Amino acid sequence: MTFKELNLRDELLFAIKELGFEQPMPIQERTIPFIQNQDSDLVALAQTGTGKTAAFGLPILNMLDESARQTQALILSPTRELCIQISNELKNYSNHLKGMRVVAVYGGEDIRIQLKQLAVPPQIIVATPGRLMDLMKRKKVETADIRFLVLDEADVMLNMGFRDDIESILKQTPETRRTLLFSATMPKEIANIVHQFMKNYEEIVVGTKNSGAVNVEHVYYLTSEKYKYAALKRIVDLNPDIYGIVFCRTRQETKEMAEKLMQDGYNADALHGDLSQAQRDTVMQKFRIRNIQLLVATDVAARGLDVDDLTHVINYNLPDDNEVYTHRSGRTGRVNKKGVSISLILPKEINKIKALEKMLKKNFVQQQIPNGQEVLKKQLYHLIDRMINVEVKKDQIQPYMGESTPKSL
């Protein structure tokens, strides 16, 4: 199937082509025709990184009236980072729709700036629940003309404690609106919202409900608490090109882990709740441009992060909630790329691995912690490979070639 077969406007097709997308992803193939051709609500279950923004964004952009100065769609997301990302993607898709405005509103930024952006109502508002509630209380967001309400990463929003805000927003939007809920998992809290606020809804599942990402390999290492940090370093050393997140249980452990890794010469930094928004933005920018290879984070701090091309997720501690593991591991193996989810476990935690295998319907492979010889061999091969594949620009080295030529005897 092609995007043209999805009956999208020429302006959207042109933008999609400019962005280099050729074929819709599975979630897009199923949701775009449904949103455009049906009138009922939608519950879509798919892993993060499967193209969900386009899955709801393209049909909404296709159906809105860009000439009307009314807010016609609200999109809720759990974090500032994800809010900004969704907004930017929608702006890219609507680049050729004259008059279409997308505004992102979120905490951590001066509300006066956002109030100016809302002075003329945009057709689409992308918001975090808390900031949207604040703006609605100030009567700065008009909801009477809302046609679409999207709950993106709904399970993450509920885990972050936004249930009351979400319910309040749902109650303040017209009953005629269509609610589109996107989630990676379907916990009881999601089911409760669905049954309370969504009528005559359709459920679309890409993959298996509450399953892990398809392209992720699940690996675990048995170790002791005493040698766990040493085991982590060995595993990282065995993967010289690693680009991943190390999950810890507490912010204190996150700080200490990142500090130890940096002291030991690794490109690492921490992401936790004690950071200011400016500090968080700095760390995330360094991570996105790969100045940092390892981001050490708590689940709370990492919620809503959207970074492509992660090679590994490392569970320094297994989460208490198995569904949290699904979120962690789903951060790698995205957009048809392969990834690895590694867990460092104590012998007493082997039953947790079995429970995860049962839930995800996937086999977890036990591997042995690499020894020094294995690490040395892998690092040496990696160095040789880099030297062989280095790109030499002849025009830049030509002036120096004469100097490096040995004189004849």
Give me 276's structure tokens: 């200011």
Classified as helix, coil or strand, 44 is strand
- For residues 8 and 155, membership in a common domain is answered with yes
DSSP 214-243: TTEEEEEEE--TTTHHHHHHHHHHT-TT--
Are 273 and 176 in the same domain? no
Pair (72, 198) in one structural domain: yes
Decide: 56 and 35 in contact? Cβ < 8 Å.
yes
- Residue 96: give its domain's CATH number: 3.40.50.300
Amino acid at 321: D
Does any domain span residue 183? yes
The answer to whether residues 28 and 128 belong to one domain is: yes
In a domain, 401, yes or no: no
Residue 111 domain flag: yes
Give 365-385 pLDDT, tens digit per residue. 999 988 877 777 777 766 776
Are residues 151 and 56 located together in one domain of the fold? yes
**Same domain (yes/no): 274, 192:** no
Looking at the fold, whether 366 and 240 belong to one and the same domain comes out as yes
- Please indicate, yes or no, if residue 330 is contained in any of the structural domains: yes
Asked whether residue 164 falls in the same domain as residue 138, the answer is yes
Contact in structure between 99 and 46 (CB atoms under 8 Å): no
Find all residues with CB under 8 Å of 86, minimum gap 6, and list them.
Answer: 53, 57, 75, 77, 104, 126, 152
Distances (CA, A) of 374 to 29, 232, 314, 343, 381: 45, 15, 20, 20, 11
pLDDT, average across residues 251-264: 93
Scanning the structure block, which residue is given the tokens 């964004």?
Answer: 57
Give the number of domains in the chain. 2
Digit-coded pLDDT (tens) for 181-212: 998 878 888 888 999 899 889 999 886 555 55
In a shared domain, residues 158 and 268: no
Q: Which of 205, 227, 249 is the last residue of a domain?
A: 205
Q: Is the pTM of this model over 0.85?
A: no
CB 233, CB 257: distance < 8 Å: no
Q: Do 196 and 135 lie in a common domain?
A: yes
233 located within any domain:
yes
321 and 224 in a common domain? yes
Mean pLDDT, residues 80-108: 93
Residue 361, in any domain of the structure: yes
* Residue where the block lists tokens 């609200």: 74
Same domain, yes or no, for 303 and 239?
yes
Number of H helices, E strands in the chain: 17, 14
Question: pLDDT by residue (tens digit) across 264-286?
Answer: 999 999 998 788 888 888 998 89
Could you tell me the residue range of the domain that residue 112 belongs to?
4-205
| Locus of tokens 């936004």 | 162
State yes or no: pLDDT of 403 exceeds 60: no
Distance CA 272, CA 260 (A): 16
Collect all residues with Cβ–Cβ distance below 8 Å to 116 and sequence separation of at least 6.
Answer: none
